[in-house]
């Protein structure tokens, strides 16, 4: 998972961000909010809506801690690279406002509390998956970003885990909805990230990141990739129906949302520019909440 812009930019003469703001920035609140929402939805679906709100919030908290830990480890590893890119140069670690030691300590505590909490309070499988997600994101995906554009494919695996983690924490397995939302989230990331990578291609090139739009001779490829995966998300979103889950309401809603995603990807593929990239990015950010809402509504109707 990526976000279009992180880090705080201060104008000349403005005061430095506070310690609290720096720590909040390090946690990437937009991504953390998404992780919490996805885990909550996964847990709700696994319990057929029977789990208490308090229990699901606790579940989301532990999953968000593990996701936040992975993100901090990622920023520790990439701090020198982030210092080279304008959009990330003012983040807390590249500027030294938060020390590497403190960041590692915080990430270690978060990872420990998150995985232990999942293991003790929920199904142990979720703790194993959470730990694997941290390792895959921080120790596999992060280093690959400097070596191959296939890093996006690898990074999409841990990026798709939150709803599956939430489902597994309650049910002890992935289930139809857990795996279906994992598949949707996996595919969803490609158009989403191609838009971001195109918008910040010069930054990635300056930082030595091997993102597809930042590589020589790849003009037009980001749009084509976005279009390909936006089309794939149409059948991916309908996987629950293959296993006898879901209703016509979910099918129609998911297809309509998917077609909107395809339309935005077509516009980006036809003309890679700032307007089409931002439109695709906005559409991607609307798509997932719609799918989550449809899944919950659909499941509630079927109960």
pLDDT digits (tens, 9 = 90+) for 109-126: 999 999 999 999 999 999
Alpha-carbon gap, residue 278 to 284, rounded angstroms: 10
Are residues 146 and 32 part of one domain? Answer: yes
pLDDT digits (tens, 9 = 90+) for 1-13: 555 443 334 433 3
Residue 158 shares a structural domain with residue 245 = no
113 and 206 share a domain? no
Final residue belonging to a domain, choices 173, 203, 232:
173
CB 68 within 8 A of CB 85: no
How many domains, in total, are found in the chain? 2
Cα–chain center distance at 209: 19
Both tokens assigned to 200: 């910040």
The residue segments making up the domain with residue 228 are 175-303
pLDDT for 135: 97
State the pLDDT confidence band at 141, using cuts at 50, 70 and 90: very high
pLDDT in tens, 251-279: 999 999 999 999 999 999 999 999 999 99
Considering the domain architecture, whether residues 144 and 112 belong to the same structural domain is answered as: yes
Evaluate whether residue 5 is within a structural domain.
Answer: no
Q: What is the DSSP string of 37-99?
A: HHHHHHHHHHTTT-S-HHHHHHHHHHHHHHHHHHHHHHHHHTHHHHTTSTTTTTSHHHHTSS-
Q: Quote the pTM value.
A: 0.91
């Amino acid at each position: 998972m990526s976000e279009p812009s992180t880090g705080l930019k201060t104008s000349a003469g403005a005061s430095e961000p506070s310690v609290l703001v720096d720590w909040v920035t390090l946690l990437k609140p937009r991504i953390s909010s998404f992780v919490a929402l996805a885990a909550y939805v996964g847990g709700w679906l696994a319990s057929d809506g029977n789990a208490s709100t308090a229990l699901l919030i606790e579940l989301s908290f532990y999953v968000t801690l593990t996701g936040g830990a992975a993100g901090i480890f990622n920023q520790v590893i990439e701090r020198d690279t982030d210092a080279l890119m304008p959009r990330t140069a003012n983040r807390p670690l590249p500027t030294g406002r938060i020390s590497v030691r403190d960041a590692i300590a915080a990430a270690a505590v978060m990872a420990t509390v998150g995985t232990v909490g999942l293991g003790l309070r929920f199904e142990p499988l979720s703790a194993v998956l959470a730990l694997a997600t941290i390792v895959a994101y921080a120790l596999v995906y992060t280093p690959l970003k400097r070596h191959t554009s296939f890093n996006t494919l690898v990074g999409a695996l841990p990026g798709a885990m939150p709803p599956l983690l939430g489902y597994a924490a309650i049910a002890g397995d992935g289930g139809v909805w857990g795996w279906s939302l994992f598949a949707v989230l996996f595919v969803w990331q490609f158009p989403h990230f191609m838009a971001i990578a195109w918008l910040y291609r010069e930054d990635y090139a300056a930082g030595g990141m091997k993102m597809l739009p930042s590589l020589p001779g790849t003009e037009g490829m980001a749009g084509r990739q976005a279009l390909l995966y936006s089309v794939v998300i149409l059948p991916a979103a309908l996987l629950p129906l293959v296993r006898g889950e879901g209703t016509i309401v979910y099918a129609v809603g998911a297809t309509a949302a998917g077609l909107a995603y395809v339309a935005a990807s077509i516009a980006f593929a036809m003309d890679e520019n700032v307007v089409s990239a931002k439109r695709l990015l906005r559409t991607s950010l609307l798509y997932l909440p719609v799918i989550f809402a449809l899944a919950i509504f659909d499941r509630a109707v079927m109960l």
